[in-house]
Amino acid sequence: MIGNKLEQSIIGVFESNLSETFSINSISKILNKAYPYINKKSKSLINEGVLGKIDIGNSYQCYLNLKNDKAKIFLAMIEVNRKESLLKNNPEIINVINELNQLTKKFDIETVVLYKKNILLIKRNIKNHELERKKIFEYTLLTQEYNILLLTRKDFQNQFLNNADLRKYHFVLINNENYVNIISEIFVDLLRNKIFGNKGNVINRNFMENKNQKNMNGSLKDNKK
């Protein structure tokens, strides 16, 4: 079995912002659990390679090591739990997921992410963006309620790096495994942004916004932790 509840709780601290690093003391305070208890389990996760550490003077900060297979499984499990929470609070989303399942099969979509009222369709290769986008829009009625965005892996990775809200308040609706693999490709860049800052990167704040859509939040809840 991968991960008991305590291990999942520790990984969950990092999941809300994969670019963040934490001391073991910070993790114990966030989880409101005794330091010796968290220290022992965190060191075990470090020894397994699930968590990495960055030495800072006489102490160190931990990060989720997405080059580790077990860490990827942990993250996928957490995404499943987030999706289940979304469905519990918004049962109508199951209809959206059912339609997206058909959409992903027809158009070879790798994974689908919900961010507020945006549905992000991530595809490895897009030969003709406008043509493929047009075909998708003709195929689905979801455009009546959601802002549909067709993105390459690179497009999505860039937005994930530069948009803290996207990292924190998203839901993976289709294919958690592909999502985790896509994110794991940029985990070094996520850490670099944390350690060295994000100098020189310009965030395209309008990329995720549909100016013609009056209510981007709709009836969906952010399910903030």
204 has pLDDT over 50: no
Q: How high is the pLDDT of residue 1?
A: 42
Asked if residue 168 and residue 103 are part of one domain, the reply reads yes
Is 225 inside a domain boundary? Answer: no
Confidence of residue 217 (pLDDT cuts 50, 70, 90): very low
pTM beyond 0.85, yes or no: no
Contacting residues for 139 by C-beta, under 8 A, at least 6 apart = 103, 106, 107
Stretch 24-34: mean pLDDT, rounded? 94
Output the domain CATH number for residue 122: 3.30.460
**Per the structure, how many domains does the chain have?**
2
Render pLDDT for 146-189 as a digit per residue (tens, 0 to 9).
Answer: 999 999 999 999 999 989 899 989 999 999 999 999 999 998 88
Is 154 inside a domain boundary? Answer: yes
Is 91 inside a domain boundary? Answer: yes
Containing structural domain, residue 174 = 84-196
Lowest mean pLDDT among 3-12, 61-70, 109-118: 3-12
Asked if residue 60 and residue 17 are part of one domain, the reply reads yes
Asked if residue 90 and residue 192 are part of one domain, the reply reads yes
Is 119 inside a domain boundary? Answer: yes
Q: d(Cα 119, Cα 46) in Å, to the nearest integer?
A: 35
Output the domain CATH number for residue 12: 1.10.10.10
